[in-house]
Amino acid sequence: MAELVLRQPSDIASFRDEWSVLLECASPAQDRQKLAGLFPSVDWTRLLMLAEEHGATGHVVSCLHDLEVKVVPPEISQSLADRQRAQIFLAMRLIAELLRILESFASEGIAALVIKGPVLAVRAYANPARRSYGDLDLLVRHRDVRRATELMIAGGFAPAIPLSAIDAGKIPGQYLFSKPDSKLIVELHNDRTLRYFPRQLPLEEFFARQVRVKLDAREVPALSVEDELVLICVHGAKHFWERLMWVADVAGLVTRETGIDWGRVADLAKALGAERMLHAGLHLATNVLGAQMPRKAQATVKADAAAARLADQVCKWLPAAGWAPPSLFQRALFRMRMRGDFISGTAYLLRLSLSPTEEDWNADPEGKRHGILGALHRPFRLAGKYGRVGKT
């Protein structure tokens, strides 16, 4: 299938009908009658391309499966079936690998929590294969990273962060592992790597509040639903909410998980300095996809006018799935505003801009830029990376 190319904002208009269908398919409260009226005007090839870019193919397949009438051309129906079958097989492989990794870690006394991926798919959609994901994410304590890396290597994974870098005390954006002979990718995170949180994660509290989520007749350790909600809102903000999938995750989670302790959600967001990130994510979930929340929580979100403005800004680039990204200046301003006031926002932006990650190490393979020199070079690398037009 041809690549979706939306390099100018004006191109988005040509996908308006398909975007309307995609929004309805991703909504936790789908209107079948509305969908039936929208489908006749759809260019199915464009819809598939748009759904794939937004990680929402599973939503489209599920939506079509629930319709009583057949509206999909045979060749498109086959393409959808092939994509969904591939996602189901990938989900099965990832879950099997996840269970093996958790058993390996447990045998060495390494505690881990599963975040996003299959756990979020079960919580938000009651289906581990409906959500598009191609990797596994786990939270581990910093002290366990080295031993966990050794176990991953023994399990056939190649580490992107070598043991030498871990021994040197370097902190990457994530500890990424891949299997050369497959598409399996695993990322380990902790309170030091998740730097897009304004304040350090209370990792021990996360472990203390952990719950068990059922996957493939087995239970795996996961974040409490309140902790997961704040985490995915910060994750969406990190990526400027450029994919509908991230908004759908929030909408699905708050709709299906009716027992959310909203007081705990608010307390955690406040402790992390992530209140505006949370509110912007909830604004998008309710206003874009029609998610429902309790009145008190809804009133708190609506009262945050700054978060509403951020959500409105996101809606301008969201349909293009990253092909009409915000400019470098817009990105910087967005990061500042999603943190809070001018002082805290500036400090947050500076910390992100001056904290080297593995990409910066790779750009300096001979290690010539140390300390402050390496930090000062990072903004120039980021400007080169994000100053280009189009998807990065």
Sheet holding 185-189, edge to edge: 158-159, 175-178, 185-189, 135-140, 112-115, 218-222, 211-215
Q: How far apart are CA 73 and CA 76, in angstroms?
A: 5
For the record, the structure tokens of 216 come out as 């493939």
Beta bridge partners of 220: 213
Q: How far apart are CA 291 and CA 303, in angstroms?
A: 17
pLDDT digits (tens, 9 = 90+) for 244-275: 999 999 999 999 999 999 999 999 999 999 99
pLDDT of residue 307: 97
Q: pTM value? A: 0.89
Sign of the torsion formed by the C-alpha atoms of 351, 357, 359 and 365: positive
Q: Residue with structure tokens 């299906």? A: 256
Residue 321, SS3 per DSSP? coil
pLDDT of residue 280: 98
Q: Residue with structure tokens 């580490």? A: 159
With residue 94 as reference, give the H or E element that holds it. Answer: helix 74-107
What proportion of the chain, given as a percentage, has pLDDT over 70? 87
What values do phi and psi take at 164, rounded to 5? -65, -40
Q: Do the Cβ atoms of 353 and 382 come closer than 8 Å?
A: yes
pLDDT of residue 388: 56
Q: How far apart are CA 114 and CA 94, in angstroms?
A: 12
Q: In sequence order, which residues have a C-beta less than 8 Å from that of residue 206 and are 6 or more positions away?
A: 113, 139, 223, 224, 227
Number of residues written out for the chain: 392
Q: Do the Cβ atoms of 392 and 381 come closer than 8 Å?
A: no
Q: Residue with structure tokens 């990061």? A: 335
Q: How far apart are CA 229 and CA 381, in angstroms?
A: 32
Q: Where are the domains of the chain?
A: 9-83, 89-323, 325-392
Q: CA-based angle 224:30:41, to the nearest 5?
A: 135
Strand 185-189 versus strand 135-140 pairing type: parallel
pLDDT digits (tens, 9 = 90+) for 45-102: 888 889 999 999 999 988 887 675 577 788 888 888 888 888 889 889 999 999 999 9
Q: How far is CA 181 from the centre of its chain?
A: 25
Q: How far apart are CA 131 and CA 29, in angstroms?
A: 17
Between the alpha carbon of residue 348 and those of residues 55, 199, 312, 353, the distances in Å are 29, 9, 22, 9
For domain 89-323, the question of CATH label 3.30.70.20 is answered with no
Q: Do the Cβ atoms of 58 and 80 come closer than 8 Å?
A: no
Collect the ranges in the chain with pLDDT lower than 50: 1-10
Q: In sequence order, which residues have a C-beta less than 8 Å from that of residue 71 and are 6 or more positions away?
A: 36, 39, 40, 64
Residue 302, SS3 per DSSP? helix
Q: How far apart are CA 68 and CA 14, in angstroms?
A: 28
